[in-house]
Structure 1
Amino acid sequence: MRSGLIAQYLGVICDLDGVVYRGATPVSGSVETLNHLTAEDIAIVFATNNASRPAHAVGEHLRELGLGSQGWEVVTSSQAAAAYLADRLPTRTPVFAVGGPGVPHALTQAGLLPVGISELPDAPVAAVVQGLGIDVTWRELAEVGYQVQRGAMWVATNLDLMLPTARGPAPGNGALVATVQSATAATPHVVGKPAADLYELARNLLKIEHTETLVCGDRLDTDIAGANAAGMDSLLVLSGASSLRDLAFAAPAARPTYVAASLTGLLQPGLHLHEAPQLSVALTSAGILNADADRERLLQSVVTTAWAALDAGDEVIADTDWWLRLEEHLCLTGATG
């Protein structure tokens, strides 16, 4: 019998980096939790803004981490871009593909004809898909601008400005899209998070309603904002990019339904964040938290109290060290990384 937060839903749309794994290392408890869900016949679609890798390559990585072979699928923003164009263009229409291998692979799967910069016809192409790739060149970026100015539909897989790497932050696809925009007056149609397209593609694969779907992610500005844009409930996990402080100061459009330290929270009672605080807490430098209080209720109350104060125009302590100490108190230290 299903129990915990997940008992309220029939399927999960789940982010990857910072939620399931960090690079080559799984987040503690994530694989075990996901295998438990599939064993309970809860369908999972992993939805990623990363357009550079084909979905099957992402799937291979998940299996290497120990995820079972059934009960889940992967969709990428490249596939969302290809699906968007496939609904609007005839089969085998040439599309200028910019980015990693995931972009042309998705276009081919959707019945379109990806063409690289050396294969472009003399006539303008009908559409351009721009995604991230480590070998994207100035010539390709310039050609995106030329084609768009000649009337091509311009689809961007995502607008993430930064890509985390082992050596530190690097320019993401959003930075490359902005480069093209600086030379044109055009604006692309964006399919990746926080736009709703990728989530709608994932939900269609799940074959369930919006109210039956739970989105899990670690980024407020993409995962959670995208879930809200798509009309789905969401769980923010504090195992990746967003911290407790980020959550407390989140704008209304980026506020999740629930919060947990990691994906293991799916198997525990949900901490609903759109209800009145259950405990009285003071979010000032002089505030004293009740050390004997239930940590889960305390976490919920901290977040809901912060939101209520901010919405009322009141001040909430912003000191980063104070919030780090609070994370330690709530046993969230090490959740982010």
Structure 2
Amino acid sequence: MTSDATTPPVLAETLIARYRGLICDLDGVVYRGSRAVPHAVETLNQLTADGTPVVFATNNASRPPEQVGDHLRGLGLAPRGWSVVTSSQAAAAHLAERLAPGARVCAVGGPGVALALTEAGLTPVRVAELGGTPVEAVVQGLGVDVTWTELAAVSRLAESGITWVATNVDVTLPTPDGQAPGNGALVALVQTATSAAPHVVGKPQAALFDLSRSRLGTDQPETLVCGDRLDTDIEGANAAGLDSLFVLTGASRLRDLAFAEPPERPTYLAADLSGLLEPALPLRATSPSHPVDLWTDAVPRMPRAVGNGELLRSVVLTAWAARDAGRAISGDADLWAGIERELGLLEPAHAA
């Protein structure tokens, strides 16, 4: 059957059309500090307007969800169709399933830690309030005012044998001025002073994703995760049995993706969140349509073209195929930065 000029074109299915709900990271995906990532707010507003619910799942445990929500609304995000889930809430949910209602839990970190425990029906106790009254667990999350005294208390409590829950173990935290020590750095400090090991609930563990998916009310095949960190967002999505979209607007870069092992490889790839509204191009192990010789020390100059999304996908697939076949590919940072520039990708967050 032939078509004429009046026949409307067949539109390719957008990526998000394959899913009923989105779990989205924040730092490096939606914003960097006080500034929105380009195309993020517009894309999310279109998704929620079209009826796709979004849960923002963050490993940053320091701020309460409402404060995070205020930040998002201040960036221009529409007021409805989304919610925020933090690793503090995942920690509180984990303990609420195991402790009696009202159980006393030592809370170390920002205000989000204590609030999450209260909302879960537990009794948060700050280190300064401990005295001689015992607690049944300790939750360690990020806080800009965490002191040596508090870290020493976590060490003492964990060594005594009570449950020690870490909201997350991200070693770094993105800030407008670059990377800063994250909760993982503080958890590691405590671990050097004790023989105990924490139970971690944040990414890349599945608990935060499971809590987010329960908020969405979606099954695993209906849920997509979007993130910028391979070792937390993408590895966690894979651990939780969820498809994922990796965006190049935050911590992990194209070179990191090229060298990623299978547990950290995403289902899809895009320059930024607007990729959700473009045709779905899974990162399957197929023959790339634009082969690029990445296992040499020189990469040909790549043309600027409308098909840069497909070219980007081909670069990654070629790198994975080469590495999986045991062939070496160049790890030169300048070379990979040049590829990103040729593809018109955003500069790394620290250079933004």
1:299 aligns with 2:312: yes
Closer, same or farther: CA 2–117 of 1 in aligned 2, 3 Å? farther
- Moved beyond 6 Å, runs of 4+: none
Provide, for residues 93-150 of structure 1, a one-character-per-residue CA deviation record: whole Å limited to 9, x for no partner: 0000000000000000000000011221524311000001111111111111211222
Q: What is the distance in 2 between the residues matched to 1:313 and 1:224?
A: 23
Shift of 1:290: 5.7
Shift of 1:67: 0.8
Query: 1:160 is matched with which residue?
Result: 170
The residue correspondences of 1:81-120 to structure 2 (distance < 5 A) are 81-120=91-130
Q: For the Cα contact (< 8 Å) 1:18–1:218, is it kept in 2?
A: yes
1:280 aligns with 2:309: no
Percent sequence identity is: 61
| Among 180, 188, 191, the residue aligned to 1:178 | 188
Q: What is the distance in 2 between the residues matched to 1:181 and 1:335?
A: 31
Q: What is the distance in 2 between the residues matched to 1:166 and 1:36?
A: 27
Bigger Cα displacement from structure 2, 278-287 vs 4-13: 278-287
Shift of 1:2: 10
- 1:305 maps to amino acid: T
Task: Say which SS state the counterpart of residue 246 (structure 1) adopts.
Answer: helix
Q: For the Cα contact (< 8 Å) 2:32–2:175, is it kept in 1?
A: no
Q: For the Cα contact (< 8 Å) 2:165–2:199, is it kept in 1?
A: yes
Q: For the Cα contact (< 8 Å) 2:285–2:321, is it kept in 1?
A: no
Provide, for residues 32-68 of structure 1, a one-character-per-residue CA deviation record: whole Å limited to 9, x for no partner: 1001101111110000000000001000111111111
Query: 2:241 is matched with which residue?
Result: 231
Closer, same or farther: CA 27–168 of 1 in aligned 2, 3 Å? closer
- 1:311 maps to amino acid: D
Closer, same or farther: CA 325–144 of 1 in aligned 2, 3 Å? same
Q: What is the distance in 2 between the residues matched to 1:280 and 1:117?
A: 58
Task: Say which SS state the counterpart of residue 29 (structure 2) adopts.
Answer: coil
Q: What is the distance in 1 between the residues matched to 2:50 and 2:187?
A: 41
- 2:70 maps to amino acid: E
- 1:171 maps to amino acid: P
Task: Say which SS state the counterpart of residue 322 (structure 2) adopts.
Answer: helix
Q: For the Cα contact (< 8 Å) 2:304–2:342, is it kept in 1?
A: no
TM-score (norm 2): 0.92
- 2:230 maps to amino acid: L
Count of matched residue positions in the alignment of Structure 1 and Structure 2: 337
Q: For the Cα contact (< 8 Å) 2:302–2:342, is it kept in 1?
A: no
Q: Which runs of 5+ in 1 are unaligned?
A: none
Bigger Cα displacement from structure 2, 317-326 vs 159-168: 159-168
Query: 1:211 is matched with which residue?
Result: 221
Q: What is the distance in 2 between the residues matched to 1:208 and 1:333?
A: 32
Q: Which runs of 5+ in 2 are unaligned?
A: 1-10
Q: For the Cα contact (< 8 Å) 1:225–1:253, is it kept in 2?
A: yes
Closer, same or farther: CA 205–116 of 1 in aligned 2, 3 Å? same
Indicate the RMSD between aligned Cα atoms, in angstroms.
1.7
Shift of 1:295: 1.6
Task: Say which SS state the counterpart of residue 252 (structure 2) adopts.
Answer: coil
- 2:132 maps to amino acid: D
- 2:289 maps to amino acid: Q
